[in-house]
Amino acid sequence: MIPGALREAVARDGETIVYVPREHLLETMTWLKETPGQEYDYLVDVTAVEFRDRERPLEVVYFLRSLQRKADLRVKVELESAGELSVDSVVGLWRGADWLEREVYDMFGITFTGHPDLRRILMWETYAEGYPLRKSFPLRGRFSRAEQVRQALNANPEAHYSMEELSIAEAGGDLPDDMRERLRRGERGVIPEPPRNP
């Protein structure tokens, strides 16, 4: 039995699943990565699952692989839907967890304590509709497409996105005329200086 694990199970595909309490996640993941004979040195993915059943918890799911042993492992942390939606960050163990944890935060609203730069990664920072992969999120969103575009443009996209990223948005016809014209000339708009702390 893995230290700190509540229980182990076997998935239909034969892969081992380990359930770990939230408070033991970091010590368990450290043991899995650093213990000889375990050596799960590659973090394949971090995701989450929310069940429709109120009795079933929200889960954070980690997919680990030992490249040397060619072994896979799923580690699950159950969170109570009504409780605190946070777990420790594993970025200190696997740098690849950085963007993966940010995606789970952005889509599910789960906070990763100790993450070096926890902010939205797919939705813009001022996105106010909630967390798109939660069951409570409406199928078509809370705002119309036009309102979503308006909010995104008000967030000053030229300050946050590269010229290449802006040109992709321009191809969809969503940028205002002045921004589209600047892109055609290969120019950026005036990006305001961030406020300075006194």
Task: Provide the pLDDT for residue 181.
Answer: 79
List average pLDDT for each run of 10 residues in the chain, which is 198 residues long.
72 83 93 94 96 80 96 91 84 96 95 95 82 75 62 64 67 71 73 58
Which CATH code for domain 8-122? Answer: 3.30.460.80
Could you give the CA distance from residue 24 to residue 87 in angstroms, rounded to a whole number?
Answer: 10
Burial call 73-95: b when 16+ CB within 10 Å, e when fewer: bbbbbbbebeeebebbbbbebbe
Residue with tokens 């993966």: 100
- Please count the other Cβ atoms lying within 10 Å of the Cβ belonging to residue 127: 17
Q: What residue segments make up the domains of the chain, in order of their start? A: 8-122
Task: Provide the pLDDT for residue 27.
Answer: 93
Task: Provide the pLDDT for residue 125.
Answer: 79
- Cα-based angle 126, 166, 175 (whole degrees, multiple of 5): 75
Task: Provide the pLDDT for residue 158.
Answer: 65
Task: Provide the pLDDT for residue 134.
Answer: 84
- Please count the other Cβ atoms lying within 10 Å of the Cβ belonging to residue 16: 14
- Cα-based angle 184, 186, 191 (whole degrees, multiple of 5): 110
Task: Provide the pLDDT for residue 14.
Answer: 76
Could you give the CA distance from residue 132 to residue 123 in angstroms, rounded to a whole number?
Answer: 9
Q: Which two tokens stand for residue 184?
A: 């055609």
Could you give the CA distance from residue 78 to residue 58 in angstroms, rounded to a whole number?
Answer: 6
Prediction pTM value: 0.70
